[in-house]
Structures are given as C-alpha cells and as structure tokens.
Structure 1
Amino acid sequence: MSDSQNDLTIHFTIGPVQGFLAQARRTRDLWSGSFLLSYLSGCAMAEIINPDRKWDGKIIIPDVT
C-alpha cells in the first residue's frame, strides 16, 4: 500500500459563528465569544500538527506556515 492511500482529509468547522456572536449584548460578551471560538479552533489545529502524534498532520486553510 502506498503512502498516498493512507492520506486523510478532515474538514473541521465551528458554526454558526454569526448567530453565536450576534447574541452578545455587551462588548465583553462579543470579545468572550470571539475568544472562545478562536481558542477552540486553535486547540483543534494544535492537535492536528502535534509532533508527538503518530501522524504527520498539516493545516491547509488557514495557512499557518
């Protein structure tokens, strides 16, 4: 089996973002919601590119190189 047959693509989304952030009543709520979504996305990306894992993950979008 060649290496190309072992390649996987994972599509990860968080949403609906606009509806989630539109519920903010104060600037603090908007900041907290935005931070939470950014943090969760960052954690997911960190898990994909973690060098301690047995896979060689790469992030396509957004470009994090």
Structure 2
Amino acid sequence: VLTGGVFQNVRLTEVVAAGVEAAGLTVLRHRTVPPNDGGISVGQAAVAVARAQPVPSGPHRPTR
C-alpha cells in the first residue's frame, strides 16, 4: 500500500509504483481517502468498528 503524505507527490508515486510492479508485486493505492493525515480518522474509525465486533469463540476463533 502506497500511503503517507509523501505519496501525494505524483512523480514519486509513479516511480515507486513502477519499481514495486517490476518486482512482481501488486500496488495498492488510495482512491477515495487521501494518503496523508486526512485519512487517519478513517483508519481510526475502522479499528473502532473492528474492536466493537463480538469476538468469536470456539475452535475457529481468530487470534489477534
């Protein structure tokens, strides 16, 4: 995932993405949430929602 304020720089993003793809990896980029501090609250909300979910019990319980 190309994230962080530095990836608002289009040229840097293009160069890094090309290198990642050349290594055979998939590049994940932001589409609706900005890669800089503007996206922090979205991530915090996602973590809060995940933590509010009941934790499954039994043999198939995921580990955190």
TM-score band w.r.t. shorter chain:
0.3 to 0.5
The TM-score normalised by the length of structure 1 is 0.36
Say which structure, 1 or 2, has more relative contact order (CA 8 Å, 6+ apart).
2
The TM-score normalised by the length of structure 2 is 0.36
